[in-house]
Structure 1
Amino acid sequence: MKLSWNQSTRQQLAVYWSTDTLYYLLVKRQANKQVLLAADQLALEDGNAPDEIENHLRPILQQFGRKRTELSVVLARHSVELLPLSLPMTNIDQLPELVELQVLQQLPEYADDAVIDFVPTGEPSTDAQQILAVIARTSHVDTVQHIAARLKVPLAAIGVRPLAAAASLLKSVPTNKRIIAISQTGEEVDVNILLHQRLVLTRTVRIATDIEKAARTLVSEVQRTLLLLNDASHDDNRDNDNPDLSDEASTEIWLNLDSSLSGLDQHLTERLQLPVRYYDALAQLKASEHTPHGRGPYLPLLGAIAVTDERADAISNTASIDLLHPRRPTKQASPWKRYATYAAIVASALAFGGWYLRGEMRQLELEAAGLQSQLKTTTTTVKKLQSKQLVVTSLERWQQDDINWLDELQQFAASAPSAGAADFQRWNAASVAGSGGIISLDVRVKDPAVLGQLEDSVRDERHSIHSQRVTEQESNEAWPWKFESTIVVKRASSAQDGGEVAAR
């Protein structure tokens, strides 16, 4: 799937809207350069009204030409669900199905109403792979398609604001630097951690218009994120003997803010003791007479129309998300669709010659009705068999996984922190065919040090653990700290085979 220019398209219009503001960026391709034609923000009375969006975009298309323009839309953060996943290593072709299963298990409310895409995150590993799943309601995608159809412009892609901002920066990240990219859109700020041209972590926070309060919020968010990343980086370095890239000298902060927060760089430099610089999202574009003055929230829009060589069908090292063309599990075609097509052809042929075969037509119609009834009965039987087959397949997978979940539960209970130190809100276990299993935890603790104790007690040759979403809840005095952990359990046979090989 390409996220590049259509051969017949010379212009791309990227659009993002919130409840009260519409942002747009129009770029023209000229030779091998991109020329900025227009960029601005417009006030909205109701950001949920498609008609108002269309009324704002229609004059822009009329001014610059509709015929050779494609539309890319960036969804707001509140329009999607971002779900971090820690999954066992598996074939690329199986990854979309595995992601979909995990999403529907953890978010069952999206079972019949979801568009799912995903990107890899974090450092590459041989034990587990970190995935960020993006889930949107189909109604959001339908609304965007409706707007494009009413404007009579082809829809190229549907992105998500935090990841679109990250995608526009990845190729600019030095290989020996870890970048904390802070991008502002209205009252929301996206904080993206980028390393080795790969998205490591993304967060979105709301900030105040007062620069002192905004600085305190961002400093707290960056400090919490660095603490989490440094702990994970030290663990990886001990396990893999990789060079440590978590020290402060290798970290920079890039800001893309509007003029209302001018001077924020000085506050961050003083409080975080890290190099801070502004990143001009439009500097890489060739200027024109329509170039806007000052900085603006154009980084996600630039990411939505960024020209890339190719986005891999199943997984890539970019942060590109396209809910219009999401990565999907491979589905086998049903033979019953072919049979239904044959039946329709036969019925049409009978109707065509009916005017002079009235006598025989009645008999043929009865036979056709009988065949249709048999087809319906057979189809119902096949559906029941398929349902039973799912149960059989699940039981076979359970046996093949070589995991005794009662032993796993007993082992975890013996090593887990005491009831006075931790409150376990959720404990879910799931098998992954041929790869072992996954245990998901929601934990609340009094002391954040319990997190390290829990991870040390779990890790062994068959178990690895990854913790995320460490948050402090001031409103809960009994359990002020909350985090989520994912335990990857290897098959017992795999662990034994690995030990025998190592012994040789």
Structure 2
Amino acid sequence: MSSSRRFDPLRSLPSLARAFDGARGLMGRAQGKSETRPVAVIGWDRRFLSFAVLQKRGESIAVLETGRSERSAEHSPIAQVAEQLAGRPFRVGEAIAVLSRAELEAIDLALPPADDAELPGLVRAQIEERLDADPPPHVDFLVATTAPDAPRAVTAFAAADETVVALRSAADAARWRLAAIVPRGLGALGLINRSLAERWRSAVALSVLDGEVEWIVLHDGHPERQRTVRLGSEERAVIGDQIWSEIQRSLTLTGAPSADEPHLIVFGDRQRISELTGPLIGRFRDDVTFVDPLGAPGTPERSEDVHGFAPLVGAGRLYLERRLPVDVAHPKAPPKPVGPLRRYGPIAALAVVALGVVGWYLSQDVAELQNEVDTLTASVEKKSKLADKQAEKADEARIVDAWRQDEVNWLEELKLLSERLPTGKEATVRRLSAFAAPEAVTFDLSVQVDDPATVARLEEGLRGEGITVSSRRVAERGTGTEYPWQFETRVTIDRATIASHVAPVPEFDESATGDVDEADDDAAPAADADAASANETSAAADDSTAVDLGTVEPASAGSDEASETNGGER
């Protein structure tokens, strides 16, 4: 006995609420999973290629892998890194290109006082006027002075269009998304948190790379100037003095009160940086802070030159924390201008409503006309299908009729010859061959007889209406044989006589009409198969190839020798 339960809305509401909450939780986890796919940050120079893979896990950012190798001349840097990361347990979804000054040109601009919304247009106009490139380059910028009522000092970063297109193509080939294009000199900013940057009013963030040194001048935690210097000597004392002189020059240009005031922030290992820069650290009177790019000193995977990964790891952190100061792939754009639609909004709304009403009436008329067109189209298709069906049947009838007209009933013709040949005591047929031509059917016989007079009787017996006989090569084989005389005979039967031996073909009435229904459609494949078979048989009937029937004795000959058939049937 089955029991039924009544639906209680009050009791069902809590369960529905729990179900919706669970669905929102699943959606949140799915979105979180898609947002935390690893990012590959790639940087390169003329000789070497470096990369770092970062992933955001909750509120923290983990460095999954770092690598450094020689740059391949045959593959793009993104393709080379994608090949190295193949087979890893993680799956990279995005790529960040960290470009050096060789591929990303930095230009200092002095602009008049302007709002932040006006700066993208001013910077783009200045860069296009200076570079005069076609197509125009991709430009983003870093603002040094933040006060809109003062002249604006801007550092613009420009990348050629072919460079950006090549990076996008390489990322697409690796099935990654090109997330950002970052200047290498600004990448290390991601390793400096806001509290550390605001601890000193003036600071210099230094990155030591292969043959180059890059630094950023910070005022109140805001980057104001970025410089790159190529080192021309391998002596540590000379390198340290050169870096110190360039830093002093940058501080003077940015308006620092004193060269001894700024605090130095260095990315990398203290001992290794001291080895590379010589007396530079001492020039700042130990007012130096060392920041580890990987954030985990002492790990077995750490490289000796961890300072080389500072721009990569910092750029990755800036992207994952959504605070990139410069992104050439997605540059700053001026706000969209207010269009006239907003000014004339009410009038435009009324016009849209009126057009919608008129459009609805027109759509109804169009729908009715479309239904009528569909009905007429269906009728035309049905009649065309019926006409095609009748044409196919007429073609099949004509093909069958042509085949039947060219048909030869070989058994009937052989029977005719057998009835008109002499008896087996008087003659024997040693060979018989036959072939059909459009005008007549011909039999060639090789006959042996007991007497020359039998030749004349054989020809007389074979001749008739529509049948001609000619003999040749009458020769005596010699005495002592049962059939001493041998000759060859050709019997030709015209088509009129042949046609009388073929059953008549029923005529096809092409004027017959009928409806095309599902039964006709089902029978169409069978009719097509019969027509194909008829076409093959007709093609065989049209050939004028001789049919060799071999050595055949007539039914009345009574010879003891076996008959041999080497031909086939038509």
In the superposition, the TM-score normalised over structure 1's length comes to 0.55
Query: Would you say 1:17 and 2:17 are equivalent positions?
Result: no
Aligned length: 316
- CA-to-partner distance for each residue in 1:131-151, whole Å, 9 max, x for gaps? 111111011111111111111
Read off the aligned partner of 2:266 and give its amino acid letter: L
Distance 1:97 1:223 in 2: 33
2:184 counterpart residue number? 161
1:326 counterpart residue number? 331
Q: Measure how far apart 1:15 and its partner are.
A: 0.6
Distance 1:38 1:95 in 2: 38
Checking the alignment, whether the CA contact within 8 Å between 2:51 and 2:68 is kept in structure 1 is yes
Candidates 64, 67, 77, aligned match of 2:101: 77
- CA-to-partner distance for each residue in 1:161-195, whole Å, 9 max, x for gaps? 01222344362313433111111221111121112
Query: Would you say 1:279 and 2:284 are equivalent positions?
Result: no
2:206 counterpart residue number? 182
Candidates 57, 60, 65, aligned match of 1:30: 57
1:64 counterpart residue number? 89
2:306 counterpart residue number? 295
Superposition map of 1:103-502 within 5 A: 103-105=127-129, 107-110=130-133, 112-122=135-145, 124=147, 126-169=149-192, 171=194, 172-207=196-231, 208-229=233-254, 232-233=255-256, 246-247=257-258, 250-256=261-267, 262-264=274-276, 267-271=279-283, 273=285, 275-283=287-295, 290-293=301-304, 295-307=306-318, 320-330=325-335
Q: Measure how far apart 1:18 and its partner are.
A: 0.9
Cα 1:94/1:111, change in 2 over 3 Å: farther
Read off the aligned partner of 1:262 and give its amino acid letter: S
Q: Measure how far apart 1:287 and its partner are.
A: 8.9
Q: Measure how far apart 1:294 and its partner are.
A: 5.0
Residue aligned with 2:136, SS: coil
- CA-to-partner distance for each residue in 1:223-253, whole Å, 9 max, x for gaps? 2223333xx35xxxxxxxxxxxx34564111
Cα 1:264/1:309, change in 2 over 3 Å: closer
Q: Measure how far apart 1:302 and its partner are.
A: 1.7
Q: Which of 292-301 and 250-259 deviates more?
A: 250-259
Checking the alignment, whether the CA contact within 8 Å between 1:265 and 1:276 is kept in structure 2 is no
Checking the alignment, whether the CA contact within 8 Å between 2:260 and 2:284 is kept in structure 1 is no
Read off the aligned partner of 1:63 and give its amino acid letter: R
1:343 counterpart residue number? none
- CA-to-partner distance for each residue in 1:464-485, whole Å, 9 max, x for gaps? xxxxxxxxxxxxxxxxxxxxxx
Residue aligned with 1:63, SS: coil
Checking the alignment, whether the CA contact within 8 Å between 1:115 and 1:136 is kept in structure 2 is yes
Distance 1:184 1:62 in 2: 32
Residue aligned with 1:93, SS: coil
Cα 1:6/1:142, change in 2 over 3 Å: farther
Distance 1:178 1:291 in 2: 31
Cα 1:276/1:104, change in 2 over 3 Å: same
Distance 1:167 1:250 in 2: 23
Distance 2:169 2:34 in 1: 24
Cα 1:100/1:58, change in 2 over 3 Å: same
Residue aligned with 1:113, SS: coil
Checking the alignment, whether the CA contact within 8 Å between 2:36 and 2:57 is kept in structure 1 is no
Cα 1:61/1:155, change in 2 over 3 Å: farther
Query: Would you say 1:97 and 2:121 are equivalent positions?
Result: yes
Distance 2:60 2:300 in 1: 16
Checking the alignment, whether the CA contact within 8 Å between 1:180 and 1:193 is kept in structure 2 is yes
Distance 1:309 1:36 in 2: 12
* Runs of 5+ unmatched residues, structure 1: 234-245, 312-317, 336-352, 358-504
Looking at both structures, which has the greater relative contact order when contacts are Cα pairs under 8 Å and sequence separation is at least 6?
A: 1
Checking the alignment, whether the CA contact within 8 Å between 2:318 and 2:324 is kept in structure 1 is no
Checking the alignment, whether the CA contact within 8 Å between 1:83 and 1:132 is kept in structure 2 is yes
Cα 1:61/1:309, change in 2 over 3 Å: closer
Distance 2:70 2:78 in 1: 10
Distance 2:174 2:75 in 1: 11
Distance 2:167 2:33 in 1: 20
1:88 counterpart residue number? 112
Q: Measure how far apart 1:198 and its partner are.
A: 0.9
Residue aligned with 2:307, SS: coil
Candidates 64, 67, 72, aligned match of 1:40: 67
- CA-to-partner distance for each residue in 1:407-440, whole Å, 9 max, x for gaps? xxxxxxxxxxxxxxxxxxxxxxxxxxxxxxxxxx
Checking the alignment, whether the CA contact within 8 Å between 1:182 and 1:192 is kept in structure 2 is yes
Residue aligned with 1:27, SS: strand
Cα 1:24/1:193, change in 2 over 3 Å: same
Read off the aligned partner of 1:326 and give its amino acid letter: P
Q: Measure how far apart 1:60 and its partner are.
A: 1.2
Checking the alignment, whether the CA contact within 8 Å between 1:25 and 1:302 is kept in structure 2 is yes
Distance 2:324 2:109 in 1: 15
* Runs of 5+ unmatched residues, structure 2: 1-31, 341-372, 378-570
Cα 1:138/1:253, change in 2 over 3 Å: same
Checking the alignment, whether the CA contact within 8 Å between 1:254 and 1:278 is kept in structure 2 is yes
1:477 counterpart residue number? none
Distance 1:134 1:53 in 2: 21
Checking the alignment, whether the CA contact within 8 Å between 1:9 and 1:69 is kept in structure 2 is no
Distance 2:197 2:338 in 1: 43
Distance 1:280 1:78 in 2: 26
- CA-to-partner distance for each residue in 1:17-52, whole Å, 9 max, x for gaps? 111101111122233222221112111243xx5446
Q: Percent identity?
A: 22
Distance 2:34 2:216 in 1: 32
Checking the alignment, whether the CA contact within 8 Å between 1:38 and 1:291 is kept in structure 2 is no
Distance 1:281 1:186 in 2: 16
